[in-house]
Chains A and B, each alone.
Chain A
Amino acid sequence: MTDVTHDHASSTGISNVKLGMWAFLGSECLLFGGLISTYMLYRGRVTGGPRPSQIFDIPFTSVSSFILLMSSLTMVLAVSAAHKEDDRKINLWLTVTALLGATFVGGQVYEFTAFYKEGLGFSTSLFGSSFYTLTGFHGVHVTVGIIMLMSLVGILKRSKVPGKKAEVVEMIGLYWHFVDIVWIVIFTLVYLIPV
């Protein structure tokens, strides 16, 4: 190749996409920070319906938190496989990660229905509104992550992925881990610390 200038390429050798992803995650800190703070402010304000301590099922949530935590491991293994260009393993670990994520979301759906049956609706109390909003936002993030993981698996199969495979896997990985660390915070602040 001759002296080709990629006009939109980085001049520092740092990947644009990766830098962009980290900037985005920095921004997400303020989003979740706001939701968590709102929850903290309102968690004790129950004028009707159950209080947090009456409905939280700590053993159950501990298991699903653990599952999400482990999905971070499988994700990082996928990234590692991607760097080694081991396509089979990439697929395997991505799929496992998606499955673990789906289990977590499934657990959340179950939890929501259980809470709902115990009388905690979205409009029941400030606790209800802020709890569902916070955990719902997190759940949506996980769901988006699952969609991306599964899409990636599908695309990889047809090897259509534009750009560097490893980098794409890594980006989704960063997102996924972020969703996991948000849950680490939520698990402690929302579930483990009583009102």
Chain B
Amino acid sequence: MAIIERPAPTVPAVVTPTSTYGVLKRPVSATGWRSWVFTVDHKKIGIMYGATAMFFFIVGGVEALLIRLQLAAPNGKVLNADLYNQMFTMHATTMVFLFVMPMAAAFANYFVPLQIGARDVAFPRLNAFSFWALLFGGIFLNLAWFLGGAADGGWFMYAPNSGPVFSPTNGVDFWALGLQITGIASLAGAINLIITVLNMRAPGMSLMKMPIFTWMITVVQFLLLFAVPVITVALFLLSFQRNFGARFFDVAAGADPLLWQHLFWIFGHPEVYILILPSFGIISEVLPVFSRKPLFGYPFVVFSGAAIGFVGWGVWAHHMFASGLGPVSVAVFSLTTMAIAVPTGVKIINWTLTMWGGKLWFTTAMKFAIGLIVLFTVGGLSGVTHSVAPSDTQQTDTYYIVAHFHYVLFGGAVLGIFSGFYYWWPKVFGKMLNEKLGSWNFWLMIIGLNLTFGPMHILGLQGQPRRMYRWTEARAGEGFFNLAFWNMIASIGSFILTTGILMFLINVWVTWRNPKKAPLDPWDARSLEWMTTNPPKEHNFDVIPTVHHLDEFFHRKYEEDATTHTMKQVATAEELMAEQERNADKHIHMPSPSYWPIVLAFALPIITFGIIYSYLISVVGGVIVLFAAYGWALESSTAPDSDFENNTPGTALAIHD
């Protein structure tokens, strides 16, 4: 946001506001709430994404706990049928769209530019817009709780049960329109990150020298780029039916309810890889660092990631094996679904071989990564049992499926995210998380999650269907497989799991207050994001590094001894940092903050709100969109040089030329 000249890197640059488009001055604050709300800095945006996602994790988690309380015993009385149906719908929607996806966006935003040696993303303002749209979309989605009831059709919202007669509250409207907003956020974010990765890598960083996390994020952005429009179509059809009287899912008019299912799952299956691949990327960073070895078979991991992304487009109907597709379609989709286990297996194998022969350091981050390998495999293997279509017709819509997807989602995506927390916390906040609390965090979560979701395999194979607000003793059986017993275990497990997650929150709180700063390179890490301060300076790197290796940072620190083939240290991170500061770029121009992203994003829920209540409100929203769009278009992303004035004594700000 300003021109910063060494050696005063930490002093906020001072910008004199000039007018843009006659009315509004550019925001300039470098501290205080304004510095966050109007920021375009990918790191601040990343942190805001993270905080938002964490908040929604707790919301979704509390919803899950209510579900488990209700199901702990037969004929539960905690929730009534209506509330229960809203609860699991919103639990899933929140966890998937407002926790895992934004958390992945948080990591991606923060680390992709750092990992590729860039100073920001390709479109900084668009980045801010993505975040605000996500936040407002998430709030909008949850507003329904207070305005007559939330969506109650299950997270895949099958038609025609989502139609106006069958779901008469406004819940589904809020759901469809809210997801539309978060979809816009995802799409904008995807374009942004794709261009960033394609176009802004540091010199020398070919695609095959790109850190694996960045690779997986890139695959995910492509999945988003192409999957989001599909659900956009589906949601439009749904909204048009509910709000404007279209007939898309009206069977009386000849509609086929399977239309919705296809559109939803054409999006929905790529979506599950959107949820898992970022975590695959995270642990592919963590495992090599703490094994002190490069990732085994890097090109295989890259290509298998891409293959998963690609094949993931051809399997969607495995969610519809009982829908009546006809045997040919079922057979085809059964086969493609099995095929996808192969590239996923490649990853599991490569992670294990990365550790093989290493020098393993069991930090909390590493433990979570290892936990992912084992528990994701459990979930993946149950996935393979679903892919056998005839046997899936016994399993589908039972708790066996619920077990599958919580193992891949919690045992996969969430464990990966926690691994990322512990690994990158010092980078982002300049503080170490406590390893001892981390250990508690890890073990309680592992025990809790297995106790919660493990029994669901049994429940499902014993025939307990999902989405039942109550279950009955009459169908519970006796003895070892008694449903009452396993439901109780699952509910107890969920509270152990909660304690585990609380340990993390406690850890954050405790270490936050600890004044001790994290060392520069606490893990002896390998990739570029560690080649800068903790937290990074606003402009990330004093010098844009030139890349010669995959694991560039490691190779700057270590060299191979020609005779013994062991690695010996030739430089410390501190030395590398000092060298960078000496050679700092003279003149670094960062994008300026802007009002428009948040204004534009705020207009979206106004428009959708109006669609539900009164078109007049939508018109207001539309006007704001136009206004913000003009403001945006007419403001250059960086304030022109003449905007800057060197008027604060003691800071060495300079305008060159």
Contact = CB atoms under 8 A, between A and B. Distances in A.
A adjacent to B, CB under 8 Å: yes
A47 B634 contact: no
Contacts of B635: 162
Interface stretch (B84-92, B143-151, B198-206): B198-206
Cβ-closest 3 pairs across A and B: A7-B119, A34-B233, A31-B229
A16 B253 CA distance: 47
Interface in A93-137: 122-123, 125-126, 128-130, 133, 137
Interface residues of B, number: 63
A126 B233 contact: no
B240 A8 contact: no
Given A34-B232, A47-B252, 6 more contacts: A5-B544, A11-B200, A23-B190, A26-B226, A28-B229, A35-B233
Contacts of B240: 122, 129, 133
Interface in B241-268: 241, 244-248, 250, 252-256, 259, 263
B657 A2 contact: yes
A28 B199 CA distance: 21
Contacts of B516: none
Interface stretch (A38-46, A77-85, A183-191): A38-46
A11 B116 CA distance: 11
Contacts of B73: none
Contacts of B232: 31, 34
Contacts, number: 154
Contacts of A12: 198-199
14 contacts: A1-B657, A2-B657, A5-B588, A8-B122, A10-B122, A16-B122, A20-B191, A27-B225, A31-B232, A34-B232, A38-B237, A126-B247, A133-B246, A137-B236
Nearest to B205: A11
Contacts of B118: 7-8, 11
A53 interface: no
Interface of A: 1-12, 14, 16, 19-20, 23-24, 26-28, 30-31, 34-35, 38, 41-42, 45-48, 122-123, 125-126, 128-130, 133, 137, 151, 155, 160, 162-163
Contact of A11 (B201, B590, B634): B201
A30 B633 CA distance: 27
A2 B634 contact: no
A3 B199 contact: no
Nearest to A35: B233
A81 B575 CA distance: 54
B200 A8 contact: yes
B195 A23 contact: yes
B230 A7 contact: no
A163 B634 CA distance: 10
A31 B232 CA distance: 7
A9 B203 CA distance: 13
B589 A4 contact: yes
A48 B252 CA distance: 11
A151 B259 CA distance: 39
Contacts of B638: 8
Nearest to A162: B636
A122 B199 contact: no
B636 A27 contact: no
Contact of A125 (B247, B630, B633, B636): B247
Given A2-B586, A19-B198, A35-B233, A122 B255 contact: no
A126 B253 contact: yes
Given A45-B255, A163-B636, A14 B199 contact: yes
A30 B230 contact: yes
A23 B191 contact: yes
Contacts of A123: 244-247
B565 interface: no
Interface string B609-650: 000000000000000000000100111111000000000000
Contacts of B633: 151, 155, 162
Nearest to B227: A30
B212 to A, nearest CB: 20
Contacts of B123: 8, 16, 20
Nearest to A154: B630
B589 A30 contact: no
Given A23-B191, A133-B237, A7 B246 contact: no
Contacts of B237: 38, 133
B431 to A, nearest CB: 27
